[in-house]
Amino acid sequence: MDAVAATEYVEDQAMALSAEEFELLCESVLTESLPPARFSVTAFRQDGGIDIDGSVQNSLLDISLGVQVKQYTPTNTVGSPEIQRFQGALADTGCDTGTVITTSSFTDPATESAARAGIHLVNGSALFESMIELQVGVRRGTELFEPDDTFWKLFGKPDETGPIPSKRIPLANSFDTLDAVLAAIRDTRGTKDDIVATADVSPRHADLYATAGWILGFVHQEWPDDEKHKKRRWSLNRTGARYVAYRVAGLNEEAENLLLDAIRDTEMISCLTGTLRESGSLRHSSLIHRVETESELSHSSAERRASSLGVWLARLPEVSVENGREKTYSWQEP
């Protein structure tokens, strides 16, 4: 593809995303565009408010900024009332500056309002051209561009069929470490090095617990595992950002409810709780066998993953654990 075709390609892909996925895409573009900066989606969506917050901190700058994104069709332009509401949101949150990103364009009154308020505007053409320049969603060949299909497949839920892939079965048995890693992802650019330094974990645990967050549906993986021209980075989606915000605010009941729902929705836990509901109990050896038969894992790997799955199961109030000669998980109706 030449640059024109590549721009049309990323536009088509971006418009096919859900509203929240589009926010994650914009977060990724912003982070790529400003290497020192940190961006993340906000915990709560508010009409006219801030969808992405960011900061630039170094020895010379300390700037906070808010971003609003609008996934509009080309004929649905952004008007001055929307700019004025966003200006109010910036003032309410104490942001130093702000940016509005849209896939469409801005009316002349909107442009004038933004200029008076010091708000930067990014229309669809500028957004998609920046994606080509930064190689977000495409790869640059010797002369032409090619689609980066693996990048776009990271959006939405996995659609694999057959055995459960090993990456979707957790190897993370400390919820305290999970919380520390999720907080590190929120507060940094979300690279492995960032997580290691901020959460005080090993590089291996940085990967395992970021992946656990992804399994729970709290984390978005921004680059494929085998990516060559980009370093893998993690970011919180809105549910993950809300979970961390609840924990930080001491709203532990709200955080726990989010966590329990996320655990229940994971594929392997859903399989195991289905078995528990039917049979009433499940021994740990049977849990290991179930993991081995339902997944791609070897027996030794299934044993290791089953340990974490047991911890996740035990977190659920509808599951009790008996530590006799062999650990047994029992179903108790809520």
| DSSP three-state, residue 262 | helix
For position 325, what pLDDT does the model report?
81
The residues pairing with 67 across neighbouring beta strands, listed in sequence order, are: 52, 99
Cβ atoms within 10 Å, residue 149: 11
Q: Is residue 300 within 8 Å of residue 252, measured between CB atoms? A: no
Q: What angle do CA 174, 172, 216 make, to 5 degrees?
A: 100
pLDDT at 47: 66
pLDDT for position 161: 67
pLDDT of residue 225: 73
**pLDDT value, residue 228:** 67
The confidence score (pLDDT) of residue 296 equals 84
Q: In what order do the strands lie in the sheet with 281-283?
A: 281-283, 327-331, 319-323
pLDDT for 160: 63
Count the helices and strands in the chain (H runs, E runs): 14, 12
Res 218: pLDDT? 97
Supply the DSSP string of 89-103, one letter for each residue: HHHHHT-SEEEEEES
Q: What is the pLDDT of residue 159?
A: 65
Alpha carbons 210 and 241: distance in angstroms, whole number: 14
The one-digit pLDDT tens for each residue of the chain (334 residues) are 999 999 999 999 999 999 999 999 999 999 999 887 899 999 988 767 899 999 988 778 889 999 999 999 999 999 999 999 999 999 999 999 999 999 999 999 999 999 999 999 999 999 999 999 999 999 988 789 999 998 999 998 766 667 888 889 999 999 999 999 999 999 999 999 999 999 999 999 999 999 999 999 999 998 877 666 678 899 999 999 999 999 999 999 999 999 999 999 999 999 999 999 999 999 999 999 999 999 888 999 999 999 999 999 999 999 999 987 889 999 987 6
**Structural domains present in the chain:** 3-153 (3.40.1350.10), 164-259 (1.10.10.10), 266-334 (1.10.10.10)
pLDDT value of residue 35 = 80
Q: What are phi and psi of 15, to 5 degrees?
A: -70, -20
